[in-house]
Structure 1
Amino acid sequence: TDDVGEWPSLALDSNGDAHISYSDTFNGRLRYAQKAYDFWYLNTLDYTSGAGKFSDLAVDDQDGVHIGYINENNHNLSYIKIPDAQLPELPEVVNSY
C-alpha cells in the first residue's frame, strides 16, 4: 500500500479556502495542497527523504501559511512559511533544529 497522506493538517484562510500539509511517506516528501478557485493545487515543499512527519499547518490573519514538521531520518524539526498563501518558486525552510 502506498502511504500517501499521513500526518495531515488542515486550516482555512480568510476566503474559506483549504490548505493541507501532509507526509507522502511512500516517497519521503512533505506535500502541500491548496484549494483556490475551485481547483486543488498540489506541491512538494521538502524533497528531503523522511520529511513531513507530524506535519502541523496554521494560517495567520494575513493568510500566510506556516508549516512545522519533523524529518524522521535526521530528526530535524523544520518550519516553512508561505506568505499570503502564495507558493514561492522554491519554498524556503526558515529554520531547522
Structure 2
Amino acid sequence: MGEWPSLALDSNGDAHISYSDTFNGRLRYAQKAYDFWYLNTLDYTSGAGKFSDLAVDDQDGVHIGYINENNHNLSYIKIPDAQLPELPEVVNSY
C-alpha cells in the first residue's frame, strides 16, 4: 500500500509511479514495461517519499522529487532511461 502517488507515461505509453510505502515509510517506484510491473525501493530512509512528484523527460528519463518528513529534506532522484537509479540527492532542507 502506498500514499502520495505520482504517475507519468513515457514515450512508449508505459506507466511510471512513485509513492511512499505506508508500512515502511520509504520511497517506492513502480514501472510497467512489456506487460510486467517492476517494483523498486529508491530511498530506504524512514519517512521518505512524502509528496512525491514524478516526471518523464523527452528521453524517457524519470525524475522524482519528494520530501523526507523525518530529516526534513527535499530530495531528488534521477533514473536515466533503462539504467539504474542514481543515489538520492538532497536539494534543500526545511
Q: Compute the TM-score of the two structures, normalised by the length of structure 2.
A: 0.89
Seen in structure 2, the aligned counterparts of structure 1 residues 89 and 54 have a Cα distance that, compared at 3 Å, is: closer
| 1:31-86, Cα deviation, whole Å (9 max, x unpaired) | 00000000000000000010000000000000000000000101100000001143
Off by >4 Å, runs of 4+ in structure 1: 89-97
Q: Unaligned stretches of 5+ in structure 2?
A: none
Q: Compute the TM-score of the two structures, normalised by the length of structure 1.
A: 0.86
* CA–CA separation in structure 2 for the residues paired with 1:72 and 1:39: 31
* CA–CA separation in structure 2 for the residues paired with 1:74 and 1:9: 22
Seen in structure 2, the aligned counterparts of structure 1 residues 76 and 95 have a Cα distance that, compared at 3 Å, is: closer
Q: Unaligned stretches of 5+ in structure 1?
A: none
8 Å CA contact 1:65–1:85 kept in 2: the answer is no
* CA–CA separation in structure 2 for the residues paired with 1:67 and 1:61: 15
Equivalent position SS for 2:81: helix
Seen in structure 2, the aligned counterparts of structure 1 residues 82 and 26 have a Cα distance that, compared at 3 Å, is: same
* CA–CA separation in structure 2 for the residues paired with 1:69 and 1:43: 16
The CA RMSD measured in Å over matched residues stands at: 2.1
